[in-house]
Structure 1
Amino acid sequence: MAPGAVAPTKHTNLLGGREFPAVTWYKDPGLRKLYLLLGTVIMVSATNGFDGSMMNGLQTVPNWKNYFEPSSSERGLLNAILSVGSICAIPISPWLADWRGRRLAITIGITIMFVGVALQTASVNLAMFTASRFLIGFGVSLAHGAAPLLVTELAHYQHRARITSLYNTTWYIGSIIAAWTTYGTFRIDSTWSWRIPSVLQAAPAILMMSFILFVPESPRWLIAHDRADEALDILARYHANGDRHDELVQYEYTEIKETLAIELEVAKVGISELWATRGNRHRMLICICAGFFSQLSGNSLVSYYIGDILTQVGIEDPETQNIINGCLNIWNMLIACGMAFAVDKAGRRPLFLISTGGMCVMFICWTIASKYAVENGSKAAGSAVVALIFLYFTCYNLAWSGLLIGYTVEILPYKIRARGMSVLFMCINLALFFNNYLNPVALERISWKYYIVYCIFLAFEFTVVFFLFVETRYTPLEEIAAYFDDPVAEKAKHRVEQAIQETTVVEFPSKQEA
């Protein structure tokens, strides 16, 4: 669908043009259990949020600064090395998720992260601390590459957009825990002022590891690996409380199976599949832009270097800096989570456009206020910077927090979903590496003038979003291909309809008969 076209008007209880009863998840036993389990899976994003906020907080902790005595470039490397670890894991992540399943990829990633957290907590020098962060980045990347796939492929179609949008907002849960932990420990006159936040970084991972064995595998992955019987069982258990003959379950199963068959017929072998068709090139361009824009919008300045920004405008007290950091993360979570529930009603394109345009306006105002605070020593301008940071992140969280994952994962067909998300994460980590290495040096050398770069780039982002991003609301996962690959989508739709006419119930032989 071209930019500016009318958004889909189908209600969320329509699937393939057929109406199914609307489902309230908390009144349905199967969905209650499913979303409880998926609630632990989406905590993968919380580990990333914990790290960013923890490093933000540690850089305001006197004992950490005195113990390691990092220079500006070394602080940049400490933050950027996490992205290096993530980038190194990205080629492995989609292969592992597609080969051995989403759950195993998450489990392996969490295990590697545990090793990194243990090493970070026990660090006695800067080299050891840096190495530990590489391992944390590597492990989180493996888990992060599989978790959103599992969430979107298991969720009920009526709730998919909301829960996948919630996935990335849990970043703020980890961020809040880390921010207030460092606020509580920065007064400790020993290395435990930073070792306690370090060890707590494992908390979200412990929660995930405790439940991961109970989380079902993706039915789409099972069907793709000739385990259709298991896939039908999972769809029935969680979407219809065990009823294999349920009409919705039958439709979902048939649509997934036939769509995967079509994708297999037209797919090319190898990485070239990502750009083999016009539709895939469009998808990849969206993923690349979304990955870079999500981190090159100025948000990483605050996410990793809020201490430097506040010191720059005259707010130098470590306790005050930690309080602002903690309150900002609570505010961010409230806005991001609230907007995750509005993605279907508001639409993807309007949210992205309002969010990006709003960020641009707020960042221009932030730049002006910073100029007066730095050059004139204005306390009022310094306070205005704090207020504008809150307003800027309000705009950011309208779309870029939740829809960064929720939108990109839904536009990718199963065959390239894992690899497409790896492209997204590669771009995110490249942008993070660039930001985290450059930001502290640029802030130190050119001060508020550095913000002008982000003002210009945000205007560029708005233009790209306007012309590139496609509206997908109220569209089931297998049917989103219609906005990118019309011939393939129509062929898949015809085969699904034919298959449903031929059989209303999919039966499998019992184990004894088999």
Structure 2
Amino acid sequence: MEGYDTSLMKAFFGIPVFREFYGKPVNPDRPPEHRIYEISPAWQSGLTSSAFVGQIIGLLINGFIADQFGYRRTMIGALIGLCLFVLLAFLSINIFMLLAAHFLCGIPLGIFQTLSTVYAAEMCGASIIRTVAKMQSQWAYRLPFALQWAFAVPILLGVIFAPESPWWLTKQDRLDEARRSLVRLARKDSDGSKIDETLAMMKHTNDVEKYLSNEGMSFMECFRGVNLRRTEIACMVWAAQALSGNALAGYAAYFYQQEGFSAQNSFNLSIGLTGLGIVGNIIAWLLLPSIGRRKLYLCGLFLSFIIFIIAGGIAILPQSNARSWTLGSLIVSATFVYNITIGPVCYILVAEIPSSRLRVKTVVIARVAYIVSNLALGVLIPRMLNPTAWNWKGKAGFFFSGTSLICFAWSYWRLPELFGLSYLEIDILFERRAKPSKFRELQANLESAGYFSLTRTEQPGCLWRGY
């Protein structure tokens, strides 16, 4: 749902009736029926950035209230707030009202996006926009706003009946409730002793982390000792999502129109982009168990570098139909690669890197780093694409090839492989300030010892093999 909302505004820039209602004509001296309307780069940046500013506020609020009231109650409150703020966006009659509504919607999005990142929501926007792009009335953009209620209400009902996180309950020393939550999450035929073993390991991990952090759970703990390294990795991993070029894909329909595609063909390509994104996620499910997080993440960054530097080179060529379609295909390819590698792997890494006691706060800080990256790109990308500003168009590929290369270099030297490690093992490796190579060495030791081939009932007795 967060992905749908944040991508919605960028997609609206490709709808002519939206630009006509909220924008200004670039050729006011021509008859009304022949005028071309554009929303200025400054307003494009403001509209896309307003939600990100709201999300930062929501994230900071979430960092305090989630640990206090629990994930379930926090999610319910955020969803109710979002439903109310969507009404303001739906009824907006000018660009100022739309800006305020988008900012307010960002606050609840920021609150619940670190608790439950519904990645499938990122795949919903383009197919709806393709349909409404044909409309000539204000429903072309009001209908997609209204459809957010269709997401929020079912999610709200699901969260109301969902169990609270057993990890949060364990951190609050509410072990009986944590066990009941585990029972609800387990299969009906699960052995009660296995649930007790799981609860015991969760309590032990929490006790170890309390000892290592002197029982601190504040935001400042994320920047002290070994937690600083974990925070750095989480922030960079999430920021690389935007810096690797995915932020440009959010402007795909507008980008295609600036390259000479019709509005219909622009959204047809966006549909292809979305469809391949879904296929890419399915492929990622198959690759992750065998390849691991680090290799897949590095492959994604390197391929993004190659694709965008090729796109920038093609953009230098004279304008032609072949050039436009090649650039369009490269953007689709970059998104396909992203959804196999960087996109899904990022969420796994960000969840595994922090300690369990500081997970919410570390993820909040990492998400703020991601949003700050998007804020900067939200100012730059409209100027790169808008014909009244820098007018780079496809040459923006050079910029994102550079940022992808920087992220690749950082990941190669700083990002460890965590596949197959328990939270306790990860805690010990970070506490010993192990280099990324030591993480891989432990992986090799565990694999040679047959640890990964053990059943779930055998693994609890072999949690630490050392390196």
TM-score, length of structure 1 as denominator length: 0.77
What does residue 4 of structure 2 align with? 50
Counterparts in 2 of 1:242 and 1:132: CA distance versus 1, 3 Å: farther
Q: Does 2:269 match 1:324?
A: yes
RMSD: 2.0
What does residue 458 of structure 1 align with? 404
Q: Does 2:305 match 1:363?
A: no
Question: Among 220, 240, 253, which residue is 1:272 paired with?
Answer: 220
What does residue 338 of structure 2 align with? 396
Q: Does 2:409 match 1:475?
A: no
Deviations 1:451-498 (A, max 9, x none): 32222221111111111111111223443323312499xxxxxxxxxx
What does residue 63 of structure 1 align with? 17
> Per-residue deviation at 1:218?
0.8
What does residue 135 of structure 1 align with? 104
Name the aligned partner's letter for residue 126 of structure 1.
Answer: I
What does residue 387 of structure 1 align with? 329
What does residue 122 of structure 2 align with? 172
Q: Does 2:71 match 1:102?
A: yes
Matches for 1:269-348 after TM superposition, within 5 Å: 269=216, 270-278=218-226, 280-303=227-250, 305-315=251-261, 317-348=262-293
Q: Does 2:351 match 1:409?
A: yes
Q: Is the 8 A contact 1:106 1:144 kept in 2?
A: no
> Per-residue deviation at 1:312?
3.2
Name the aligned partner's letter for residue 237 of structure 1.
Answer: R
> Per-residue deviation at 1:242?
7.1
Segments of structure 2 that go 5 or more residues without pairing to the other structure are: 24-38, 435-459, 462-467
Deviations 1:122-168 (A, max 9, x none): 111111111111111111110112225xxxxxxxxxxxxxxxxxx53
What does residue 208 of structure 1 align with? 155
Name the aligned partner's letter for residue 263 of structure 2.
Answer: P
CA–CA distance in structure 2, aligned partners of residues 74 and 434 of structure 1: 14
What does residue 369 of structure 2 align with? 427
Name the aligned partner's letter for residue 284 of structure 2.
Answer: M
Deviations 1:396-431 (A, max 9, x none): 122221121111111211111011000111011111
Counterparts in 2 of 1:71 and 1:227: CA distance versus 1, 3 Å: same
What secondary structure does 1:414 align onto? coil
Q: Is the 8 A contact 1:84 1:134 kept in 2?
A: yes
Q: Is the 8 A contact 1:409 1:421 kept in 2?
A: yes
CA–CA distance in structure 2, aligned partners of residues 207 and 112 of structure 1: 15
Counterparts in 2 of 1:245 and 1:438: CA distance versus 1, 3 Å: same
Bigger shift: residues 412-421 or 262-271: 262-271
What secondary structure does 1:108 align onto? helix
Q: Does 2:89 match 1:120?
A: yes
What does residue 7 of structure 1 align with? none
Q: Is the 8 A contact 1:349 1:470 kept in 2?
A: yes
Counterparts in 2 of 1:300 and 1:252: CA distance versus 1, 3 Å: same
Q: Is the 8 A contact 1:313 1:370 kept in 2?
A: no
CA–CA distance in structure 2, aligned partners of residues 224 and 299 of structure 1: 36
Name the aligned partner's letter for residue 466 of structure 1.
Answer: Y
Question: Among 158, 172, 186, which residue is 1:239 paired with?
Answer: 186
CA–CA distance in structure 1, aligned partners of residues 134 and 399 of structure 2: 36
Name the aligned partner's letter for residue 429 of structure 1.
Answer: I
Q: Is the 8 A contact 2:280 2:337 kept in 1?
A: no
Q: How many residues of Structure 1 are paired with residues of Structure 2 in the alignment?
A: 415
Counterparts in 2 of 1:478 and 1:107: CA distance versus 1, 3 Å: farther
What does residue 492 of structure 1 align with? none
> Per-residue deviation at 1:200?
0.5
Q: Is the 8 A contact 2:18 2:141 kept in 1?
A: yes
What does residue 166 of structure 2 align with? 219
Bigger shift: residues 263-272 or 84-93: 263-272
Name the aligned partner's letter for residue 404 of structure 1.
Answer: C
Bigger shift: residues 476-485 or 385-394: 476-485
Bigger shift: residues 79-88 or 450-459: 450-459
Counterparts in 2 of 1:214 and 1:342: CA distance versus 1, 3 Å: farther
CA–CA distance in structure 2, aligned partners of residues 147 and 181 of structure 1: 23
Name the aligned partner's letter for residue 12 of structure 2.
Answer: L
CA–CA distance in structure 1, aligned partners of residues 212 and 168 of structure 2: 18
Name the aligned partner's letter for residue 225 of structure 2.
Answer: T
CA–CA distance in structure 2, aligned partners of residues 182 and 446 of structure 1: 24
Q: Does 2:195 match 1:249?
A: yes
Deviations 1:37-93 (A, max 9, x none): xxxxxxxxxx12212442233212221111111322101111111101001112111
CA–CA distance in structure 2, aligned partners of residues 482 and 378 of structure 1: 57
> Per-residue deviation at 1:224?
1.6
What does residue 199 of structure 1 align with? 146
Counterparts in 2 of 1:57 and 1:272: CA distance versus 1, 3 Å: closer
Name the aligned partner's letter for residue 122 of structure 2.
Answer: Y
Name the aligned partner's letter for residue 321 of structure 1.
Answer: S
Name the aligned partner's letter for residue 175 of structure 2.
Answer: A
CA–CA distance in structure 1, aligned partners of residues 286 and 165 of structure 2: 23
Segments of structure 1 that go 5 or more residues without pairing to the other structure are: 1-46, 149-166, 489-499, 502-514
CA–CA distance in structure 1, aligned partners of residues 160 and 219 of structure 2: 31
Q: Is the 8 A contact 1:240 1:249 kept in 2?
A: no
> Per-residue deviation at 1:446?
4.5
Identity across aligned pairs (percent)?
Answer: 21
Higher RCO (CA < 8 A, seq sep 6+) = 1
CA–CA distance in structure 1, aligned partners of residues 162 and 199 of structure 2: 19
Counterparts in 2 of 1:240 and 1:326: CA distance versus 1, 3 Å: closer
> Per-residue deviation at 1:240?
4.6
CA–CA distance in structure 1, aligned partners of residues 4 and 180 of structure 2: 36
CA–CA distance in structure 2, aligned partners of residues 342 and 273 of structure 1: 35
Name the aligned partner's letter for residue 464 of structure 1.
Answer: W
> Per-residue deviation at 1:203?
2.1
What secondary structure does 2:115 align onto? helix
Counterparts in 2 of 1:250 and 1:394: CA distance versus 1, 3 Å: same
What secondary structure does 2:358 align onto? helix
Matches for 1:430-445 after TM superposition, within 5 Å: 430-444=372-386, 445=390
CA–CA distance in structure 1, aligned partners of residues 147 and 159 of structure 2: 20
TM-score, length of structure 2 as denominator length: 0.84
Q: Does 2:131 match 1:184?
A: yes
